[in-house]
Chain A
Amino acid sequence: MKQYFLDLAARLDARLRDGEDYQCWLAAEASDFVRFNRSAIRQPGHVRQIYLSVTLFHGKCHAEMTMALSGRIESDRFLLDRMVAALRSQLPDLPEDPHLLRATEVHSTDHLIASRLPETVALVEEVLDAARGHDLVGILAAGPVYRGYANSFGQRNWHETTSFNLDWSLYHERDKAVKGSYAGFEWSSAAFAGKFRDAAAQLDLLQRPPMSIPPGAYRAYLTPTAMNEILGMLNWGGVSEKSLRTRQSPLCHMRDDGIRLNPAITLSENTAGGLAPAFQGDGFIKPGRVVLFDQGRLTGSLVSPRTAKEYGIGTNGADAGESMTSLDLAAGNLPMSGVLAELDTGVYISNLWYLNFSDRMNGRITGMTRFASFWVEGGEIKAPLNVMRFDDSLFRVLGENLVGLTSEREMLIDTDTYGARSTGSALLPGALVKDFVFVL
């Protein structure tokens, strides 16, 4: 695939006229997707897709076109020619772009993790064997993912990994389930069996009669998975410099008034420690780490090339959407083995679900508990909890009400498959909070 991409770039080089430049971005994958329900196969299949986006520049005018390609250079080179011709015909309609910022310094990179996976059907066998006697539902995604960038200055960037992501739930009944995941580059039968055993053991707790609690403020433990949902709300324009400048970020209070979160909160975009490509769609190279919150203070933001040009500041290689793809929340000092004792009496929240803002500018968010969440008394799990709605402020949950973060962190690999398999990840601890507000 890499040579195919380089051949595409060479074709584009050859098709330019005087005064023209180009950049291109390849997003491709060959994915097996196997969907399970009730410990049986629901929909198994394979998707092979190759999308190439080409931007043609003439001075400060530019137009972009994305096409699905076949992967065969002998026919795709003619499609490329048509793309360039179509883009060339669009340029006269377009004004100069005052916010255009180009990556003119050449930084070529190459990142390749060769496949170490067995045939997907063998993984399916293991999943079905383990699931026998249980009610398993979920999806296995596996195969190579490719990203490439090239431009007419000669920059070439390549990112190729072959990974799997098994995202599953074991159900007791109705909405009572244990959520599990197993992802990586190398499948270990022993590791999978261990994860499955742990999940199955948690099912025993779900056999107990569930309970409901009245709305109110409760001490709560949020697992790393639940914390990922909370911090994910900062990707809705929170840490975006453009959103901060246009007064739409819930963090405007922090930038303007110096409001601080708890000093335990140090949050970064950690490209070096994540799984996403280290280059972005306009060819800028991402720094290894961009610190966004340092000991509770908002010290950074994600700045795309367009925002940088518009406001006369430096870009830090953010994608156009200025959201985190390799989230990293620093660990605390609360041992994970001690969270139930520290929680004492309250709610153990395994997963949160369907978060949204109820008052964006005041950082107020709402969402639901989901899967295996429990009522805890005296440091012991007493009963599964029926789903509850929370509505609380980010500034309180991550600020004055944060009791502590766990000393261990979990690496969560994004299961998102909208349009393509995600390369995002999050490395983060769990959090103990007081007075977490449930409303329904």
Chain B
Amino acid sequence: MPDSIRSIFRSLAPAVDFCSLRLVEETSEQLTVRQDVLQPLSTTIDRGAMITVVHRGGYGYAATSDLSVAGLTNALARARRWAEAGAGRSVVDYSRIELPRPSGTYSTPPSVASMPPRRDLIDLLMRESASCRIDARVVDWQASIWSVSTSQTYLTADGADMEQQFRYLIPNLAVTASDGMDTQTRSLGGQYNGYCRQGGFEILEQAGFHGSGKRVAEQALELLAAPNCPNGTMDLLLMPEQMMLQIHESIGHPLELDRILGDERNFAGTSFVTLDMFGSYRYGSGLLNVTYDPERSEEFASYGWDDEGSKAERAWLIRDGILERPLGGAVSQARSGMQGVANARACNWNRPPIDRMANLNIEPGSSTLDDMVRSVERGVLMDTNVSWSIDDSRNKFQFGCEYGRLIENGELKGIVKNPNYRGISATFWRSLKAVGDRSTFSVMGTPFCGKGEPSQVIRVGHASPACLFGDVDVFGGA
């Protein structure tokens, strides 16, 4: 199909300042077994293209699932009309922005383990589902495997030609236990698909999926029997399954350049970060090092180029606690005069690219998990996000986890349930006391980052070590 699209597009490309076509083809399949019953099998085959035109300073797009000559001709005309309608009335003179002209290919590295036939996958899910049933208090359980294969082609009227191929795998398992009026849910990597990576069947092994049913069910029952998390100001040791959410909400979103420029103020919100902070603002303690890293191939949002065609390369956003660079693609960089990264991304063919965080990681430090636990007189270890809320400037947050453990006098103690904490981004990261080494590091992500008008849900990756924070407002349930 791309070859025929190429020839149609090249033959139709109008005389405008800039014109591109982005073709997305995606196949996905979700297998879910809930309470030992295979849920309706769902396969999706999506295919469509977005035409973008820049002309006389205006910008316009048109997206269509009609890839015929007539369909693309119509889309080109609509995109051009919108560009002309915006001429002289846009947030920036788009014709003065030099958009990239990418060339080349990128693909998810070959799988170590090939995907078994569908029937074997169903059998695997059935086995894990059955192994969750270890107690009458287990009232709900489900296991799932979601596989996605995506091809993207990006062409410009003046000859740019780039192709990318991605394969994603998202395993999940969750068990709910209930007794009286209490209910606790424990999951493998989070109830919102925290174990999501690029690659093949090997990801199940990496996620610890095999044999997880019994293990997760046991933890759900342990939570049911546990006391509530205590209330108070204390140390907080966050494991990677919660760190990914902490990074996402209170570093990733506030550093998105389109938020700083005001595009998202009506919906996803603004940012407490302002343009003048870059280069000098102390975002966190000297232990905080944050990178945008599209080159970690197994991570969920690795790619060769973003959807404006910018080449993706690793960059430091925060180094030794000092804010260095925002998350902004070519258009946002031109609007702000800031150096950003290649993160203008669209969730699909039917949405235009906007600034997204892609892979946003905390670099490992030098502490082992034992070192960090030993350093705590009174605190709580929390793991696996279950609740998230933050203000529209990305400052005042409150997050909850599935699982907690007390830390007293340098030792891990009993399990606690309903662990929550709250804080303010601008001061929270400065309370970072220790950063875990590579032995504590894990690659996570989410398929469900929402933002934009019209709205988009996109894939992002977050890799992090365990991190220790001091003097955090911690509390439990009820």
Q: From residue 357 to 397 of chain B, which have CB atoms closer than 8 A to chain A?
A: 387-393, 396
**A356 in contact (CB, < 8 A):** yes
Cβ contact within 8 Å between A364 and B477: yes
The contact of A128 among B89, B352, B390, by CB within 8 Å, is B89
Docked pose: A65 CA to B46 CA in angstroms: 10
A50 contacts partner chain B, Cβ-Cβ < 8 Å: yes
**Interface pair B65/A175, CB less than 8 Å apart:** no
Contact with A along B59-70 (1 / 0, CB 8 A): 111111111101
| In contact, A45 and B391 (Cβ under 8 angstroms) | no
Count of residues in B whose CB is under 8 Å from the partner chain: 80
Interface centre among B43, B262, B424, B478 (most CB of A within 10 A): B43
CA gap between A283 and B194 in the complex, in Å: 34
Closest Cβ–Cβ distance, residue B115 to chain A (whole Å): 14
In the complex, the answer to whether B263 meets A64 with C-beta atoms within 8 Å is no
- With a cutoff of 8 Å between Cβ atoms, the chain B residues found around residue A97 in the complex are 37-38, 40
Label chain A's interface by main secondary structure.
Answer: strand
B139 and A138 form a contact (CB under 8 A):
no
Q: Say yes or no for A230: interface residue by CB 8 A criterion.
A: no
Confirm or deny: A440 has a beta carbon within 8 angstroms of a beta carbon on chain B: yes
Residues from chain B with a CB closer than 8 A to the CB of A62 are: 40-41
Asked if B66 and A70 sit within 8 Å, CB to CB, the answer is: yes
- A113 in the interface (beta carbon within 8 A): no
Interface string of A69-107 (1 = CB under 8 A from B): 111100100000000001000100111011100000000
Q: A64-B40, A94-B38 are in contact. Are A41 and B90 (CB under 8 A)?
A: yes
Selected contact of A94 from candidates B41, B181, B393, CB within 8 Å: B41
How many angstroms between the C-alpha atoms of A137 and B400 in the bound complex? Answer: 32
| Chain A nearest Cβ from B29, distance in angstroms | 9
- Does A114 make an interface contact (CB < 8 A)? no
Whether A274 is near chain B, meaning CB under 8 Å from some CB there, is no
Check: B183 CB closer than 8 A to any chain A CB. Answer: yes
> Does A66 make an interface contact (CB < 8 A)?
yes
B-chain residues with CB within 8 Å of residue A168 when the two chains form the complex: 266
A368: chain B residues at CB < 8 Å are: 389-392, 396
| CB-CB contacts below 8 Å: A1-56 with B | 31, 33-35, 37-38, 40-51, 55
Contacts of A397 in B (CB 8 A): none
For the complex, give the distance between the alpha carbons of A353 and B118 in Å. Answer: 41
Do the beta carbons of B59 and A44 come within 8 Å of each other? yes
Q: How far is the CB of A285 from chain B (nearest CB, A)?
A: 20
Interchain CB contact under 8 A, A137 and B42: no
Q: Is residue A63 within 8 Å, beta carbon to beta carbon, of the partner chain?
A: yes
> How many angstroms from the CA of A71 to the CA of B74 in the assembled complex?
13
Q: How near does chain B come to A155, taking the closest CB pair, in angstroms?
A: 19
Known contacts A65-B43, A139-B453; A45/B65 CB under 8 A: no
Q: Which residues does chain B contribute within 8 Å of A31, judged by CB atoms?
A: 454
Is A272 at the interface (CB under 8 A from chain B)? no
Is the CB–CB distance between B263 and A417 below 8 Å? Answer: no
Do B68 and A70 touch across chains, with their CB atoms under 8 A apart?
Answer: yes
Chain A residues whose CB sits within 8 angstroms of the CB of B73 once the complex forms: none
Considering the chains assembled together, what is the distance between the CA atoms of A141 and B454 in angstroms? 8
**B85 adjacent to A66 (CB under 8 Å):** no
The residue that B46 contacts in the complex, of A41, A68, A138, A416, with Cβ under 8 A, is A68
In the complex the two chains form, is B45's CB within 8 Å of A72's CB? Answer: no
Are B89 and A70 neighbours in the complex by a CB distance under 8 Å? no
B14 CB-CB contact with A under 8 Å: no
How far is the CB of A217 from the nearest CB of chain B, in Å?
A: 17
Q: Which residues of A contact B269 (CB under 8 A)?
A: 175, 353
Asked whether B270 is an interface residue with its Cβ less than 8 Å from the other chain, the reply is yes
CA–CA, A66 and B41, complex, Å? 11
Check if A67 sits within 8 Å of B66, measured CB to CB.
no
In the bound complex, what is the Cα–Cα distance between A43 and B335 (angstroms)?
Answer: 14
Within 8 A of B (CB), among A158-197: 167-169, 171, 174-175, 177, 179
User: Other than the known A361-B181, A387-B392, what 17 A-B pairs have Cβ atoms closer than 8 Å?
Assistant: A37-B91, A45-B60, A48-B66, A49-B65, A65-B45, A66-B42, A70-B65, A121-B81, A124-B85, A137-B262, A174-B270, A246-B178, A252-B183, A353-B269, A356-B400, A357-B387, A357-B400
B residues at A contact (CB < 8 Å): 37-38, 40-48, 58-68, 70-71, 75, 78-79, 81-82, 85-86, 89-91, 117-119, 122, 139-140, 176, 178, 181-183, 185, 261-263, 265-267, 269-270, 350-352, 354, 387-393, 396, 398, 400, 418, 420, 422, 424, 450, 453-457, 477-478
- Could you jot down 12 A-B contacts, CB within 8 Å? A43-B61, A44-B82, A50-B65, A63-B40, A68-B47, A72-B71, A97-B38, A257-B181, A353-B269, A361-B183, A366-B389, A440-B424
